[in-house]
């Protein structure tokens, strides 16, 4: 009996030893979560691909979640809760509601998770441990400056503003206000869109960042003023929808300037084909891969990523893509844009 007890004690000790030994990276000791706005937008599809490729390279278990549509806040909240419960080391998130999501994300941080915002800064930006993003204000400003220079007499501009959604997440505000600043329009309160009183602006319409939304928004604004000659769009799917609405209205050949942000391969092709005049290209693969690397570093030694000097986030870069360069506005052509594009 004593011998049996000694054997059992030895077996329990071995089992305890195996249970408490840290797993190696190859056995997925580190777990990360990626939460995006949708699984439909090519930007977030590519972000997911970039995160998965880097996670596979580093031996990290990656769980991915996405809202049903851009603006689906509740699904993102549930995803955060799932990541906390699973024992993940960190969360990468492109937030739909940049204000409301801060409460569950603070719960994640309190539980020891590293929180990194991708593409879309939280409000306040300090609600995340770090942010990897395009300088979205600069992205908007570049297309605004290009549009103003290309249009000529901007006093005759009649502008349609196609935004993301009425919750006005930071990426939506930054691009909108950047565009208006670049075009030379007083933004009033730079922390929100739609309060401008410049008569050249026909109106703002939400698109949910997709082609159907872009088409609907453009149709509504054309009803307000059929003489629109400049169209700002939050992203390229919305721009594609706006163009379809203009084509249906018999205005595709009227020389209307359409500008956008994203730099996906379909969007760059639209620039090459003359559908979009210029787009600001961003780099979701880089955002995602850097985010996964940061979670690994946090899990292994508790270090957090540093910001770009002089900024409160890490700038992953932006380039204006156009085949019609404007004086004083730096840009690359569509050949280089296709070499760098995604999707």
pTM: 0.85
At residue 261, the pLDDT reads 98
Contacts with 34 (C-beta within 8 Å, 6 or more apart), sequence order: 47, 48, 51, 62, 63, 64, 65, 91, 92, 93, 288, 291
d(CA 322, CA 274): 9
At residue 40, the pLDDT reads 87
What are the two backbone dihedrals, phi and then psi, of residue 165, each rounded to the nearest 5 degrees?
A: -155, 170
d(CA 301, CA 309): 23
Give buried/exposed letters for 129-166 (b at 16+ CB in 10 A, else e).
bbbbbbbbbbbbbbbbbbbbbbbeeeeebbbbbbbbbe
pLDDT in tens, 98-138: 999 999 999 999 999 999 999 999 999 999 999 999 999 99
pLDDT at 17 over 50: no
At residue 239, the pLDDT reads 98
- For the chain, give the number of residues: 343
pLDDT at 25 over 70: no
Q: Are strands 278-281 and 319-321 parallel, antiparallel or unpaired?
A: antiparallel
d(CA 217, CA 238): 9
Ordered strands of the 278-281 beta sheet: 201-206, 159-163, 230-233, 257-262, 278-281, 319-321
pLDDT in tens, 264-319: 999 999 999 999 999 999 999 999 999 999 999 999 999 999 999 999 999 999 99
Percent of the chain's residues with pLDDT above 70: 92
What residue spans of the chain are helical by DSSP H? Answer: 2-20, 42-58, 73-86, 102-110, 136-151, 170-183, 211-224, 236-248, 265-273, 284-301, 334-340
* 150 and 143 Cβ atoms separated by less than 8 Å: no
At residue 222, the pLDDT reads 98
At residue 69, the pLDDT reads 87
Q: What share of the chain is helix, strand, coil (3-state, %, to 5)?
A: 45, 15, 35
Q: What is the torsion angle, in degrees rounded to the nearest 10, for the CA atoms of residue 278, residue 173, residue 254 and residue 158?
A: -130
From the centroid of its chain, how far is CA 330?
22
pLDDT in tens, 59-73: 999 999 999 988 899
Residue 321 bridge partners (DSSP):
279, 332
At residue 29, the pLDDT reads 81
d(CA 151, CA 136): 22
At residue 70, the pLDDT reads 85
């Amino acid at each position: 009996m004593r011998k049996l007890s000694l054997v059992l004690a030895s077996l329990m000790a071995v089992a305890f030893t195996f249970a408490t030994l840290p797993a190696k990276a190859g056995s997925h000791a580190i777990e990360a979560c990626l939460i995006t706005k949708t699984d439909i937008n090519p930007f977030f599809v590519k972000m997911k691909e970039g995160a998965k490729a880097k996670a596979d390279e580093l031996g990290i278990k990656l769980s991915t979640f996405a809202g049903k549509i851009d603006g689906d806040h509740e699904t993102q909240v549930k995803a955060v809760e799932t990541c906390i419960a699973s024992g993940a080391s960190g969360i990468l998130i492109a937030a739909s509601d940049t204000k409301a999501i801060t409460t569950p994300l603070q719960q994640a941080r309190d539980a020891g998770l590293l929180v990194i915002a991708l593409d879309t800064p939280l409000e306040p930006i300090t609600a995340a441990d770090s942010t990897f993003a395009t300088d979205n204000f600069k992205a908007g400003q570049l297309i605004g400056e290009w549009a103003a220079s290309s249009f000529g007499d901007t006093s005759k501009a009649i502008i349609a503003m196609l935004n993301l959604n009425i919750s006005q997440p930071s990426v939506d505000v930054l691009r909108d206000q950047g565009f208006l600043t670049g075009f030379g329009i007083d933004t009033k309160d730079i922390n929100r869109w739609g309060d401008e009183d410049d008569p050249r602006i026909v109106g703002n319409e939400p698109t949910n960042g997709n082609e159907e939304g872009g088409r609907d928004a453009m149709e509504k604004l054309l009803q307000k003023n059929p003489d629109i000659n400049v169209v700002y769009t939050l992203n390229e799917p919305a721009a594609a929808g706006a163009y379809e609405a203009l084509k249906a209205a018999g205005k595709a050949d009227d020389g209307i300037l359409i500008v956008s942000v994203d730099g996906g391969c379909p969007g760059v092709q639209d620039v090459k084909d003359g559908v979009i005049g210029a787009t600001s290209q961003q780099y979701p693969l880089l955002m995602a891969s850097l985010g996964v690397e940061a979670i690994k570093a946090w899990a292994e030694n508790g270090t957090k990523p540093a910001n770009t000097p002089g900024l409160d986030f890490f700038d992953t870069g932006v380039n204006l893509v156009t085949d019609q360069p404007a004086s004083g506005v730096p840009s690359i052509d569509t050949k280089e844009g296709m070499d760098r594009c995604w999707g």
